[in-house]
């Protein structure tokens, strides 16, 4: 690149930039910019003999003004004129202006293309590089059509300079990614591949990037690159750091090129040529050997470069999966990283070992590290590392260690992060089923799972245990006894009641001989849970009661009394009322034989793929199937262990609430459907329709919000579903929020769980969790009186434009809340874009005949969608300077309202959602944080700094974000917490 002479420094530009930086306000900056724009416009219009230096200076000023965020509507022609200059600096500024400001639809594009053609034909390497950079930066289809044929010719020309070849390769890569059809490689393919033999390492690096992209579409055309890539890799790996001085990075020869070559080789199977394969294996062994050598430098850059090559080498070894010796050595090397002090290395080691565990050659080697992985699951501070540890335990599990791994995962589940609990529940359920030798252990495990994490046990899990128990006679008695004992706990989860209701309804007779579990005792135990359950579970229990009449005739009078009670026959929920009426009539009218035929024991289910495994695949996302399928299936495992699942023989429509991840699997037909506001959780025992088939569902993010969709119109269950609810009230239909609404809202800015509101009639509790731009909130409405609430209707209302900023889907609740009872409402939330006002929660009901109404602010604030971001001090200050515009910063100095405790402050900042960055602020008393507000439309980066002054009992809070309203709003929210 030609040197820039001292005279090329543009003093006028430097003065202008200094003036802008010295402006004290936005208005002063705009005034100075307008003055400069007027001066530039007059110069361009008035002085026709403007020299190249002046044009360059003024174009630079226009470019700077544009980068400040102001519109530029002139100066384009002057920039195009600079392209014809023979001075490097003038031509450079012209190309820079065009790359930034000119779009592909500009009328000047033809003039620009002509200037680029002239520079490409000039054979001046500096001008050619500038032209190629401009093509790559603009990257439009028009430029691709104009130059796609010229660039390959320049790339392979024998007289092209190395810098030009490098630029041409990267330019061609950019055009290929934008418009693959415009780059016909046929005649150039062989010559491009031979660039791997080029003596200039920069050309080779650029060529590898290009070939890697091209071979993914046409692998056969570039197959000859394998031997050349292996040869080049061998020369790099075997060379000393002094051999490639210009491309040695902290004693590591050409690390970027090595990584690129290893990735290129992963596009193909192992080499067929024995000599090439032998040389490649030798290279991989050399890399593994070098990893064992003591480091040549204590600098982090040295270890990063060395480990980058090592991990890419291990990825290639895993990809080939054909060299047992290399696989075992790779596993041992990764095992050393499991206890490394660097978190990223531990994460990468766990991730790579998950893949190694699926190989028959290295599975046993992976298992030797089980104790280290279990320790990581217990002690790691980073949740992502703990999640990878759980993944690895799942991948390394087999019959020899299944009980140990399941036990450890259950123990971890009690303290696991909310974000990964559901995934761990699914994995425990799959492992317990797949490797169960003793089915009593399987039943114990699933019941323990429900006890520990009942909220995260989806319908698929407990449906599955019911199907297995139904299919295996040898476990039915034990399951009935175990679930009976579990139900005796003072507080048991509703899913436990569902499992207990089904199993005792089917197999309660197997334990009825014991006086401690006689039929009246079984009924009393189940009925004691009845009033604490949701409508769906009550519907299942009513079906259990009618089964009891068939199994235990001595309970008929008692059960008929329950069905005949006014609370059932006149129940406001039409489904419960219909069941009570029909079951009472059936038990009264039908003969013993008819009753036994209608209510006979469920037959074994036919087999199909496990819906739990399918659900876990969906949760892990595309591409996880191979890791989850785990081809190492035990020959001794039976069909149920192998992952096939029985299908019900009657129509089934699972609850939408069970389908968080998009799976539509059929539950066991234990009882008629509950089609009330609680959703269709059960299946009609009298239905004779075809079995529902699992269907492909939405992505996890879509399914997370599709939980409460009503049944499809063509579904048989749609005929039984509730009619469409009345339109939700708008903001004008509800009263204003209660006076203390803001105070109650502020309590939840830095926490997700607690009591939102409480008076002498009603208590409203909140439990919520958020990930990225999605959230789920559970609202618990408790009736503190002994009188039933009538017409109970909680509604979420979006004031103003909030409907376009925040999507909230609500699950309907029962219209009656019995005295002393509690009902739960589920809200699924999606942040579409940044918002300032929270949604409103309107609660209406009748108490003792008198209407009651209440309006609160729902604790959903913009910081709930914070994703913590870790960054080094250098990156933090660089980003802090980038967000230096006045409108991007919000600052507040305020007096402390609470005792100034450093640990409490730290907890509040973490609860607010940001990551706390250590050793960033020069003052250790200050707190520095970073994070990203995740919305569907965009991401908003956020940096914060909190400076406490203990002597003055004051704080100074500074927030900088990429959006002005977000800065102010977050500053106000956080300041109120201190």
pLDDT digits 0-9 by tens, 360-385: 888 888 989 999 999 988 888 888 89
What are residue 765's DSSP bridge partners?
Answer: 755, 780
623 pLDDT more than 80 = no
Confidence of residue 205 (pLDDT cuts 50, 70, 90): very high
58 is in an annotated binding site: yes
Give me Rg for the CA atoms of the chain.
34
Virtual torsion, Cα 444, 446, 450, 452, nearest 10 deg: 70
733 pLDDT more than 50 = yes
Residue 350 and residue 373 in contact, taking contact as beta carbons nearer than 8 Å: yes
Confidence of residue 105 (pLDDT cuts 50, 70, 90): low
Higher pLDDT, 910 or 636: 910
186 is in an annotated binding site: no
CA distances from 595 to 162, 547, 590, 686, 888 (A): 89, 9, 6, 12, 73
pLDDT digits 0-9 by tens, 154-198: 888 888 899 999 999 999 999 888 888 888 777 788 888 888 888
53 is in an annotated binding site: yes
Cβ neighbour number for residue 245 with a 10 Å cutoff: 8
pLDDT digits 0-9 by tens, 509-560: 889 888 898 999 999 999 998 888 899 999 999 999 999 988 888 988 999 8
pLDDT at site 665: 34
pLDDT digits 0-9 by tens, 410-456: 988 888 888 888 888 888 988 988 888 788 888 899 888 888 888 88
pLDDT at site 716: 29
CA distances from 15 to 4, 6, 22, 97, 608 (A): 20, 17, 11, 20, 76
CA–CA distance, 81 with 103 (Å, rounded to integer): 17
472 pLDDT more than 50 = yes
485 pLDDT more than 60 = yes
Confidence of residue 860 (pLDDT cuts 50, 70, 90): very high
Secondary structure element (H or E) that encloses residue 908, with its range = helix 902-912
Average pLDDT over residues 783-794: 87
Residue 208 and residue 264 in contact, taking contact as beta carbons nearer than 8 Å: yes
pLDDT at site 168: 92
Q: Is 718 helix (H, G, I), strand (E, B) or coil?
A: helix
710 pLDDT more than 70 = no
Confidence of residue 613 (pLDDT cuts 50, 70, 90): low
Confidence of residue 906 (pLDDT cuts 50, 70, 90): confident
CATH code 3.30.420.40 for 861-974: no
Domain ranges of the chain: 382-596, 737-859, 861-974
158 is in an annotated binding site: no
Confidence of residue 241 (pLDDT cuts 50, 70, 90): low
851 pLDDT more than 50 = yes
Confidence of residue 612 (pLDDT cuts 50, 70, 90): low
pLDDT at site 297: 86
pLDDT at site 350: 92
CA 672 to chain CA mean position, Å? 36
Cβ neighbour number for residue 513 with a 10 Å cutoff: 8
204 pLDDT more than 90 = yes
> 3-state secondary structure string, 572-635?
CCHHHHHHHHHHHHHHHHCCHHHHHHHCCCCCCCCEEECHHHHHHHHHHCCCCHHHHHCCCCCC
pLDDT at site 591: 84
Mean per-residue pLDDT of the chain = 81
Higher pLDDT, 167 or 677: 167
- Farthest CA pair distance, the chain: 111
7 pLDDT more than 70 = no
pLDDT at site 910: 87
12 is in an annotated binding site: yes
* DSSP assigned state of 817: B
- Provide the sign of the torsion angle of the four alpha carbons 23, 24, 30, 34, taken in this order: negative
Query: Could you name the CATH architecture of 737-859?
Result: Sandwich (2.60)
User: In the structure encoding, which two tokens stand for residue 710, read together?
Assistant: 């009503």
Confidence of residue 484 (pLDDT cuts 50, 70, 90): very high
868 pLDDT more than 50 = yes
CATH tag for 382-596 (out of 1.10.150, 1.10.1200, 2.40.30, 1.25.10): 1.25.10
pLDDT at site 697: 36
pLDDT at site 212: 92
pLDDT digits 0-9 by tens, 308-335: 999 999 999 998 888 888 899 999 989 8
Confidence of residue 228 (pLDDT cuts 50, 70, 90): very high
CA distances from 973 to 11, 832, 863, 913, 950 (A): 45, 20, 9, 12, 21
CA distances from 244 to 207, 236, 247 (A): 18, 8, 5
Percent of the chain scoring above 70 in pLDDT: 85
pLDDT at site 571: 81
Average pLDDT over residues 91-97: 91
- What burial class does residue 216 get, using C-beta atoms within 10 Å of its C-beta: 0-12 exposed, 13-18 middle, 19+ buried? exposed
Q: Is 770 helix (H, G, I), strand (E, B) or coil?
A: strand
Residue 37 and residue 15 in contact, taking contact as beta carbons nearer than 8 Å: no
pLDDT at site 646: 34
Percent of the chain scoring above 90 in pLDDT: 19
């Amino acid at each position: 690149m030609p040197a820039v002479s001292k005279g090329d420094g543009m003093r006028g530009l430097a003065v202008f930039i200094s003036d802008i930086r010295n402006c004290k306000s936005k208005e002063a900056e705009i005034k100075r910019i307008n003055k400069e724009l007027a001066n530039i416009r007059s110069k361009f219009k008035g002085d026709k003999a403007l020299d190249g230096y002046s044009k360059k200076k003024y174009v630079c000023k226009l470019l700077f003004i544009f980068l400040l965020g102001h519109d530029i509507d002139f100066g384009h022609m002057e920039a195009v004129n600079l392209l014809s200059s023979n001075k490097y600096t003038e031509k450079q500024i012209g190309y820079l202006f065009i790359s930034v400001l000119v779009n592909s639809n500009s009328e000047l594009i033809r003039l620009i293309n002509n200037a680029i053609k002239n520079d490409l034909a000039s054979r001046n390497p500096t001008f050619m590089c500038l032209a190629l950079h401009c093509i790559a930066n603009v990257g439009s289809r028009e430029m691709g059509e104009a130059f796609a044929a010229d660039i390959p010719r320049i790339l392979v020309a024998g007289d092209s300079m190395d810098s030009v070849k490098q630029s041409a390769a990267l330019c061609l890569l950019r055009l290929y990614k934008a418009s693959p059809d415009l780059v016909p490689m046929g005649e150039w393919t062989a010559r491009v591949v031979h660039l791997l033999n080029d003596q200039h390492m920069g050309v080779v690096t650029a060529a590898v990037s290009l070939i890697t992209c091209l071979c993914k579409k046409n692998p056969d055309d570039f197959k000859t690159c394998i031997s050349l890539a292996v040869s080049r890799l061998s020369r790099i790996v075997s060379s000393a750091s002094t051999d490639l001085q210009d491309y040695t990075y902290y004693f590591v020869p050409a690390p970027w090129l090595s990584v690129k070559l290893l990735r290129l080789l992963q596009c193909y199977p192992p080499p067929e040529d024995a000599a090439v394969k032998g040389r490649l294996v030798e290279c991989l062994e050399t890399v593994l050997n070098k990893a064992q050598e003591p480091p040549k430098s204590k600098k982090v850059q040295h270890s990063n470069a060395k480990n980058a090559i090592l991990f890419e080498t291990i990825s290639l070894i895993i990809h080939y999966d054909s060299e047992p010796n290399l696989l075992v050595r790779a596993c041992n090397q990764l095992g050393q990283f499991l206890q490394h002090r660097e978190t990223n290395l531990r994460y990468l080691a766990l991730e790579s070992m998950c893949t190694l565990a699926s190989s028959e050659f290295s599975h046993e080697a992976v298992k030797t590290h089980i104790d280290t992985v279990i320790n990581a699951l217990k002690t790691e501070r980073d949740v992502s590392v703990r999640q990878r540890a759980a993944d690895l335990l799942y991948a390394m599990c087999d019959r020899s260690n299944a009980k140990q791994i399941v036990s450890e995962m259950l123990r971890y589940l009690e303290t696991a992060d909310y974000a990964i609990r559901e995934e761990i529940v699914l994995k425990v359920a799959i492992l317990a089923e797949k490797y169960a030798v003793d089915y009593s252990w399987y039943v114990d495990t699933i019941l323990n799972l429900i006890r520990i994490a009942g909220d995260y046990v989806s319908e698929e899990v407990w449906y599955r245990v019911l199907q297995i128990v139904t299919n295996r006679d040898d476990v039915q008695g034990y399951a009935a006894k175990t679930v009976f004992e579990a139900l005796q706990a003072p507080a048991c989860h509703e899913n436990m009641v569902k499992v207990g209701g089904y199993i005792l309804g089917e197999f309660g007779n197997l334990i009825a001989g014991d006086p401690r579990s006689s039929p009246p005792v079984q009924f009393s135990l189940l009925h004691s849970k009845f009033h604490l359950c949701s409508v769906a579970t009550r519907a299942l229990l009513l079906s259990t009661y009618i089964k009891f009449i068939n199994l235990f005739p001595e309970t008929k009078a008692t059960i008929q009394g329950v069905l005949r009670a006014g609370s059932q026959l006149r129940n406001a929920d039409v489904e419960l009322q219909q069941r009570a009426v029909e079951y009472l009539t059936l038990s009264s009218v039908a003969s013993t034989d008819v009753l036994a035929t209608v209510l006979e024991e469920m037959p074994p289910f036919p087999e199909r793929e496990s819906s739990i495994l399918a659900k876990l695949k969906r949760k892990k996302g595309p591409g996880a199937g191979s890791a989850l399928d785990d081809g190492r299936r035990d020959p001794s495992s039976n069909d149920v262990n192998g992952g096939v699942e029985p299908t019900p023989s009657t129509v089934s429509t699972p609850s939408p609430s069970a389908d968080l991840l998009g799976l539509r699997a059929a539950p066991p037909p234990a009882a008629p459907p509950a089609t009330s506001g609680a959703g269709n959780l059960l299946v009609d025992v009298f239905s004779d329709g075809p079995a529902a088939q699992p269907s492909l569902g939405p992505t996890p993010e879509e399914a997370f919000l599709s939980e409460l969709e009503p049944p499809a119109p063509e579904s048989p269950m749609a005929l039984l579903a509730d009619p469409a609810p009345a339109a939700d009230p708008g903001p004008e239909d509800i009263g204003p929020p209660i006076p203390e609404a803001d105070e109650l809202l502020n309590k939840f800015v830095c926490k997700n769980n607690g009591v939102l509101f409480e008076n002498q009639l009603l208590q409203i509790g909140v439990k919520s969790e958020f990930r990225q731009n999605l959230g789920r909130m559970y609202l618990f409405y408790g009736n503190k009186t002994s009188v039933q609430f009538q017409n109970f209707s909680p509604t979420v209302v979006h004031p103003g434009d909030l409907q376009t900023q925040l999507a909230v889907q609500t699950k309907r609740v029962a219209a009656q809340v019995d005295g002393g009872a509690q009902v739960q409402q589920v809200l699924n939330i999606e942040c579409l874009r940044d918002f300032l006002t929270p949604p409103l929660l309107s609660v209406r009901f009748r108490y003792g005949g008198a209407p009651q109404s209440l309006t609160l602010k729902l604790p959903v604030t913009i910081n709930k969608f914070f994703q913590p971001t870790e960054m080094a001090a250098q990156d933090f200050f660089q980003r802090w300077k980038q967000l230096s515009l006045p409108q991007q910063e919000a600052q507040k100095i305020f007096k402390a309202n609470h005792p100034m405790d450093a640990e409490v402050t730290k907890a509040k900042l973490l609860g607010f959602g940001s990551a706390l960055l250590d050793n960033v602020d020069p003052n250790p008393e200050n707190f520095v944080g970073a994070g990203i507000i995740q919305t569907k439309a965009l991401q908003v980066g956020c940096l914060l700094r909190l400076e406490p002054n203990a002597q003055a009992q004051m704080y100074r809070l500074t927030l900088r974000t990429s959006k002005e309203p977000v800065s102010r709003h977050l500053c106000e929210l956080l300041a109120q917490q201190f």
